[in-house]
Amino acid sequence: MIKSLKTALFTLAFVNSALAQEAMLQEKQNLPNASSYSRWSFGAGIETRMLKKLSADADYEHRLFPSLFVAYREKWVQSFTEFAFHENSQRVGVLNIDYQRKELRQWARYIIRDQSTWTPHLGASLGLYREEIKTRLSQDFRADTSEWEPTLGFEIGAQGILFRRMLAELNFRALRDSFDEKEEDWNWSLQVNLGYAPL
Amino acid sequence: MVFLRNSLLWSLFLGICLSCQKKDPDQGYTFLIPWPQASGEYRLQEVRLVTLSSPFEMKGSAAEVYSELGFRGPGLEGHPARPRLTEVDGVYVPNDPQSALVVAVYAHFEFLQKMEVDLQLPTRMSWPRQVSVGMPMVKSNGQREFNNARYFMDEDIVAVSPYNGEGLPLALNAGILAHEHFHAIFERLFMPAFESVEVAAESSQRRQLIVRAWNEGLADFYAFVYTQNPDYMGDSVSPEVRQGRRLDRDVVSLLTPQQFQSDVERFADDDQCPQGFCLAYGEGNKLARLLYEIWQKLSEADQTGFLRELLTRLPSASRTLASAEEISLRSLVPLVVSQQVVSKAEACKSLTLLLGGDEVFVSSYPECPTEGTQP
């Protein structure tokens, strides 16, 4: 967890550096008026998701979700399509469990304002996830794959433009897989994206 | 923009509807967990549990299972474990080993509860039981403890320490859980009367060890009853411990008071056997082997009667022994194992061997001859 936060903070520090800010301001000056603005972008990101331990109220473990995205902005609204992936393998004695989760999320973002170095936004998403579990007990093995299930999320974040066509994003997210049966809490996450805007 | 907004609203509505399908908890929930087979081997098996109100919280009428929690005050700090599960075709599959452990522990306590209810065992047990899996514990030398399970009588909690071995984790081992659960039964049936009598400090430690031996021996037998596996510890423990706790070995004589005292003194400063507790396991197992042999020779109906009688006799045995000036390892046997059961199982020879041919105790069994046995 600490390592991931350090990585995120390092990235933040990097994109906030004087050089980056200068590049952003220059880029902003070259941009058309937001009300007539449309742009494609794509890139990759990493998300660190906080999950409560099984019995604890305030003790968390984290999972890393690398992701790929493609986004299209039209004026004050952005469509952000994201594919994220996580896997881990854990063993206790003769019991070994490999867990894999794939997510496809469609975010709808509202750009709050477009006048500063950073462009803040609010977003909501609906997506699908699928889990695959491989359980091994000594020589006994079984693989299970779930159906694609719905997942929901909200975010607040900001996007900046670096070095002409490069994008950087930082998002705080609240994510949840269902509303009732799991009776789960919201999972919180911090996500960083780096992308390229060709048009 | 309108298209985006409408898509989002419809998608949210659809998602909420899809995720709001409730299941009927009365039907129970099925989990994929490691489970003991008739052969004693553990395999992945779909196990149906009927006492949980939600599959995502290990809290029900059988147990409250906690994960990696320590004590805070009189109880555990935190809430019952919420395992990470994925539902696949109506079966809940644990996403990680710790989730599998807490589900398996709950399952065994549900099955223990069912066994006690079905067999009408007079255990005086209070349900739900509290169990902590992966509890951080410290050994007497200050080091972190792994690969052990304990019953904390003051808190009435069964705790399983983290497992770092290569075999079956203790929290998955049905026999070890049943063994620890029996300590809670012993605490209810035997200890209240026995502890009500004050004894001189010098004999207190010896009495404590003797009672511990009975407790451990009966717990070994109870573990066998639940698992029907005389090698119930399996590869969860070291090969030496496993061999030492098997029940399908020949019955041998319990130590005489003199031998016992001598061994207690010998082990007094042994770190591997603090305060001579290892003696309690070894001597207790001798008692368990006799009970196992009797069980094997009885019919199914008589087996249940035998177990019920054993538990029924514990409180009165406790009262008798509490008021006795001196007790020995052999004192409990005539009080809980009846002549009728010994005769049915044709276990006179083993019984006499266990009692070392000691006439004081063997005479409680008029149908068992004492001639030819070695004191």
Does the beta carbon of B172 lie under 8 angstroms from any beta carbon of chain A?
yes
3-class SS letters over chain B: CHHHHHHHHHHHHHHHHHHCCCCCHHHCEEEEEEEECCCCCEEEEEEEECCECCCCCCEECCEEEEECCCEECCEECCCCCCCCEEEECCEEEECCHHHHHHHHHHHHHHHHHHHHHHCCCCCCCCCCEEEEECCCCECCCCCECCCCEEEECCCCEEEECCCCCCCCCHHHCHHHHHHHHHHHHHHHHCHHHHHCCCCCHHHHHHHHHHHHHHHHHHHHHHHHHHHCCCCCCHHHCCHHHHHHHCCCCCCCCCCCHHHHHHHHHHCCCCCCCHHHHHHHHHHHHHHHHHHHHHHHHCCHHHHHHHHHHHHHHHHHHHHHHHCCCCCCCCCCHHHHCCHHHHHHCCCHHHHHHHCCCCHHHHCCCCCCCCCCCCC
Using a CB-CB distance cutoff of 8 angstroms, which residues of chain A are in contact with residue B78? 55-57
- The confidence score (pLDDT) of residue B209 equals 92
State pLDDT tens for residues B320-330: 998 888 899 99
In this prediction the ipTM stands at 0.89
Task: Look at the block and give the residue holding tokens 């007539």.
Answer: A36
- The confidence score (pLDDT) of residue B199 equals 67
Q: Which residue has the higher pLDDT, A36 or B165?
A: B165
Q: pLDDT band for B72, please (50, 70, 90 cuts).
A: confident
- The confidence score (pLDDT) of residue B328 equals 92
- The confidence score (pLDDT) of residue B325 equals 82
Partner-chain contact A93 B79, CB within 8 Å: no
What would the mean pLDDT of B59-68 be, rounded to a whole number? 95
Using a CB-CB distance cutoff of 8 angstroms, which residues of chain B are in contact with residue A126? 8, 11-12, 14-15
Using a CB-CB distance cutoff of 8 angstroms, which residues of chain B are in contact with residue A133? 86, 88, 93-95
Residue of A nearest to B64 (CA): A55
Q: Which residue has the higher pLDDT, B294 or A31?
A: B294
Rounded average pLDDT per 10-residue block, chain A, 199 residues: 46 47 54 65 96 80 96 94 97 98 97 81 97 96 96 95 87 86 77 90
Using a CB-CB distance cutoff of 8 angstroms, which residues of chain B are in contact with residue A57? 78-79
Q: What three-state secondary structure class fits A195?
A: strand
Of A75, A142, A150, the CB nearest to B32: A142
Q: Which residue has the higher pLDDT, B264 or B304?
A: B304
Q: pLDDT band for B18, please (50, 70, 90 cuts).
A: very low
Partner-chain contact A52 B82, CB within 8 Å: yes
Top-confidence range, A176-190, B30-44, B125-139: B30-44
State pLDDT tens for residues B197-206: 776 666 778 8
Of the residues A50, A54, A122, A154, the best mutation for testing chain B's interface (the one with the most B CB atoms within 10 Å of its CB) is A54
Partner-chain contact A133 B95, CB within 8 Å: yes
What would the mean pLDDT of B368-375 be, rounded to a whole number? 59
Q: What mean pLDDT is reported for chain B?
A: 89
Instruction: Give the count of Cβ contacts less than 8 A between chain A and B.
Output: 149
State pLDDT tens for residues B237-281: 999 999 999 999 999 999 999 999 888 888 877 777 777 788 999
- The confidence score (pLDDT) of residue A52 equals 84
State pLDDT tens for residues B73-116: 777 778 899 999 999 999 999 999 999 999 999 999 999 999 99
Q: Which residue has the higher pLDDT, B358 or A100?
A: A100
Does the beta carbon of B79 lie under 8 angstroms from any beta carbon of chain A?
yes
Partner-chain contact A95 B34, CB within 8 Å: yes
Using a CB-CB distance cutoff of 8 angstroms, which residues of chain B are in contact with residue A108? 4-5, 7-8
Does the beta carbon of B233 lie under 8 angstroms from any beta carbon of chain A?
no
